[in-house]
């Protein structure tokens, strides 16, 4: 074993024999090849010599401009395929056998930290972002059809807790609303999804106080068209006149439940608007009477 230096060496080693290790710290072995006899044994595995080095933007531009055989703004392999060009086919086979580019490989925490530190302070320009967006437009999502495990989804949920949505407070245009409406129209949800939505809503409403829920139900019933129709029918039957004092001024009349509105709801155990619609006692005209505002207050106080 010798120290890897780029010096000429005599034909001491056999081809395929390990002659040293890469100096970048990856601990990969350097294998002796035929051309090392003339060019010397390298210190690094090909491509590892620039690991950890920082290049300024100016240097990158110079490297880019110095590339021979490449026209500015056009890649050498543009329009070429594996079937038409040998170089493309050879490069594709090389990538298949390249361990660090295999899909599904997991990076170590140390490698992730190095990548993170190397990318700190780097930002994409608006032009670069636009190019990326244009290149991905119309392509199917790479995650489409992939089913995530429950454990994975829980981890994602916990990591997003406490974060505000990126679009919070941003108004949506009418065109976006129409597009969303069109996308979700006639979409058939699975029974499991419906149940999940229902449970999440129940959990949300269970946190609201009982008094607030009841008061909101009363308001919804009073705003419902059937209640307005019942009120109108009571006024017409009583000829728009208070049945206590004979007042017939417009805007001063109220439709009063003889059996109180609240007692009917409590008696029939009404907790939803649908149950209120189906309850006949609420909409019975014989249970209503026309009163002016003053008489209505007096009657409520007596009861």
Region of 123 (left: φ > 0; alpha: ψ -120 to 50; beta: rest) is beta
- Structure tokens of 79? 């329009």
* Residue 139 DSSP code: P
So what's the pLDDT on residue 302? 72
pLDDT per residue as tens, the chain (303 positions): 444 444 444 556 778 788 888 887 777 888 888 777 777 888 888 778 777 777 788 887 777 776 554 545 567 788 888 888 888 888 888 776 655 445 556 778 888 888 888 888 778 888 888 888 888 887 777 777 788 888 998 888 888 888 888 888 888 888 888 888 888 776 777 777 777 777 777 666 665 555 455 567 777 888 888 888 888 899 889 888 888 888 877 778 888 888 888 888 888 888 888 888 888 888 888 988 998 888 888 887 776
Question: How far apart (Å, rounded) are the C-alpha atoms in residues 4 and 49?
Answer: 13
pLDDT at 104: 57
Specify the pLDDT at position 190.
76
The pLDDT value recorded for residue 295 is 87
Answer whether 259's CB lies under 8 Å from 265's CB: no
Torsion sign (Cα): 240, 246, 250, 251: negative
pLDDT at 8: 44
pLDDT of residue 205: 60
Nearest to 79 by CA among 88, 67, 70: 88
Contact in structure between 60 and 66 (CB atoms under 8 Å):
no
Q: What is the DSSP string of 154-202?
A: HHHHHHHTTPPPTTTTPPPPHHHHHHHHHHHTT----HHHHHHHHHHHH
Instruction: Report the distance separating Cα 232 and Cα 159, nearest Å.
Output: 55
Burial bucket for residue 33 (CB in 10 Å: 0-12, 13-18, 19+): middle
């Amino acid at each position: 074993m010798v120290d890897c230096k780029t010096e000429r060496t005599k034909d001491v080693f056999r081809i395929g024999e390990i002659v040293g290790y890469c100096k970048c710290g990856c601990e990969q072995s350097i294998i002796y090849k035929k051309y090392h006899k003339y060019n010397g044994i390298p210190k690094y595995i090909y491509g590892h010599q620039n690991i950890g080095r920082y290049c300024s933007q100016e240097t990158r531009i110079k490297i880019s401009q110095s590339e021979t055989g490449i026209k500015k703004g056009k890649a050498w392999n543009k329009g070429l395929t594996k079937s038409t060009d040998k170089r493309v086919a050879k490069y594709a086979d090389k990538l298949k056998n390249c361990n660090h580019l295999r899909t599904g490989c997991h990076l170590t925490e140390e490698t992730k930290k190095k990548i993170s530190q190397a990318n700190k302070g780097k930002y994409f320009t608006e032009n670069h972002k636009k190019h990326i967006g244009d290149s991905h437009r119309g392509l199917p999502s790479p995650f489409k059809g992939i089913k995530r495990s429950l454990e994975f989804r829980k981890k994602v949920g916990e990591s997003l807790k406490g974060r505000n949505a990126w679009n919070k407070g941003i108004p949506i245009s009418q065109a976006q609303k129409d597009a969303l409406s069109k996308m979700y129209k006639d979409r058939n949800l699975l029974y499991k999804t419906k149940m999940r939505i229902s449970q999440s809503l129940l959990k949300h409403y269970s946190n609201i106080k009982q008094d607030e829920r009841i008061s909101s139900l009363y308001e919804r019933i009073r705003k419902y068209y059937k209640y307005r129709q019942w009120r109108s029918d009571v006024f017409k039957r009583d000829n728009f006149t208070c049945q206590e004092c004979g007042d017939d001024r417009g805007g001063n009349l109220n439709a009063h439940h003889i059996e109180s509105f609240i007692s009917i709801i409590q008696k029939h155990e009404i907790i939803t608007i649908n149950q209120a619609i189906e309850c006949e006692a609420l909409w019975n005209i014989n249970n209503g009477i026309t009163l002016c505002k003053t008489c209505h207050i007096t009657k409520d106080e007596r009861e």
